[in-house]
Amino acid sequence: MALSACGGGGSGSGSGGGGGSPPVPAPTPSPPPGLSYTAPAAESLAVADVQKVLAEAAMQAASDGHPAVIAVTDRVGNVLAVLRMTGAPASAAIPRAADGSQRDLQGLTVPAEGAAIAKAITGAYLSSSGNAFSTRTASMIVQQHFPPAPSTVGLESGPLFGVQFSQLPCSDLNTRLASGPAFQIGPKRSPLGLSADPGGFPLYKNGVVVGGVGVAADGVYGFDPNVLDVDSDNDERIALAGTVGFEAPLEVRADRVSLDGTTLRYTDADYASLAGVAGASYAATVPALGALAPVTGYYAATSVLAGAVYGSEASGVRRATSSEFTNGDAFVLSNGSGTSRFPLRAGSDAAEVGTPISALEAQRILEQAFGVMSKARAQIRRPLDSLAQVTISLVDTRGVPLGLVRSPDAPIFGIDVSLQKARTAAFFTNPTAAAQLLADPSPDVRSFVPAMRSFFNDPAVLTGKTAFSARAIGNLSRPFFPDGEVSRPNGPLSRPFAQWSPFSTGLQSALVLTNLGQHLNFVTGASGSDTPPRCSFIPDAAPGQNRLQNGVQIFAGGVPIYRGNTLVGAIGVSGDGIDQDDMIAFLGLSNAASVLGTLGNAPQAIRSDTFVFDLGGGANARLRYVSCPFAPFVGSDAQNVCQGL
């Protein structure tokens, strides 16, 4: 199968190549009357824009003597161009584990085109009008300690630990390359999920994110284990050059955003050190320096393409109609012809649960969660006191989506992740969870069930006795339990630390390893068949319906839904800080329970936070369920809003 701020570092401030000063966004416009949010302006990448990005990046690569593969995508993941420079590497190697072992993706090689596309998608998907995150930012927030550095041993894991295994090529949510009217429908999948390898940035026009650029030139597909030093990274310099004229506004870059008191990292490269790329010409680049390169399943290489206008029907993400959601701020996924891809519907699981979630209940749950979001103070957005923007997904116990809604400018990555979180909470709480994992054809996947039984000292764990949230499953998926305490062994759903890396997290990565191998063999031409749209090989809950059809997610923001003592589904939220995601899911469901009187959060007596583990020496640790932020609402001093619910 084919598959490398907290102190120091260049801020990326200043422009490069004679491009003048980076744009400073105008103040956020007031939302229209009756609405809480202002939708992004209708900006997109024109063909000439994409050509400019390619030419600038190629000029920098030529100046540095590092021929590269350069990919450009729009905001919803359509690949608009892939340029292979003459002499660029064919592949990139994934680092092995700390002990030299190779589990999951470790030690493998991936096509350079796939690496570049994944980086471009990451820059586009993690960003919005309120935040600009790069693949270096992603690296900082997915590792075993936050911030990652030799001196931070003992700190908890990154806030988006595990997000790299989202946007997967097997996901049933993310769309595949199509023809005709569906050509631009997003969000598109990524060949490698989200990337933590420096060399991917978002692209902006007039303060609006319109896409991303990704570069593979150094033959390594890894991550940055130490944010305290300043790296000289070829991929990052070349990609940054491609953003000249399309720079992220200074005030929303990651190095203006802090999480848990730590400022995030945007880039170790600096515009001022780049070559004079602003005048680069596409006509002087192709074919002199390289040629457009086809990528099976992603790009035909017949021409440079224009990007979709995010928010339009053609992009696949648009404003909801009044018949879909009454809230005028609501956005949904669409099929390009006006039909919602995930309309409100009743649960499919009456045979298992008796009374499934009704379409009306689904609507009320999503409305109430949307209402909590519309008052919540954002963690990752600028300016300060902006409202949170997320995607909210609802599923039944079989993992069937019962509705999906998002705010106008929520980051795209949260669409797939919110569905992953909902399915994760529903799956691990389901009475069939252990049996389903034990029926997986992979011995590696099956081994996590006895690990859980041993850890809990309970042969009946994963049989519906306990309500597991996405946060709880995340706690159990850390390479140390409790999280960050390096003297402790790994959680039962994680690899031991010496074998762990962002490319091998444990059950999360083991479930999808075969899918990734199938897909990359398809991309490279080793196989004529692609992976199916289901991210695991556990048995189907119903014909054609897998409970983990887009994989699992192991950070906070998903909780199960109960009707009395019966599990009937789950809600997942993603797009802002993890505590904000938790609160919107948990409090939104609690508010829906008050309105409906028919269903709500799991009974307190069976929630995962009832477990306290004896660590020896008088120490113990409680498993978590949810964690809500203090004083979370804009214009309100309310605190402890989840207490006692």
**Residue ranges in the chain whose pLDDT is less than 70:** 1-30
Domain spans in the chain, listed from the N-terminal domain onward: 47-309, 320-622
- List, as one string, the DSSP characters of 455-473: HHT-TTTTSSSSB--HHHH
47-309 and 320-622, same CATH topology: yes
Question: Quick one: how far is CA 55 from the chain centroid?
Answer: 29
CA pair distance 468, 17, nearest whole angstrom: 52
| Model pLDDT, residue 312 | 97
Looking at residue 28, its pLDDT comes to: 59
Is the domain 47-309 a CATH 3.40.50.360 member? no
Are residues 151 and 215 in contact, defined by beta-carbon separation less than 8 angstroms?
no
Q: What is the pLDDT of residue 34?
A: 77
408-420 CB burial, b ≥16 within 10 A, e <16:
bbbbbbbbbbbbb
Q: What is the DSSP letter of 609?
A: G
Tell me the pLDDT tens digit for each residue of 236-279. 999 999 999 999 999 999 999 988 889 999 999 999 999 999 99
pLDDT score for 181: 73
- What pLDDT does 29 receive? 66
CATH topology of domain 320-622: Beta-Lactamase (3.30.450)
Task: State residue 227's pLDDT score.
Answer: 92
DSSP 8-state symbol, 563: E
The pLDDT > 90 percentage for the chain reads: 90
The pTM assigned to this predicted structure is 0.95
Residue 179 confidence (pLDDT): 79
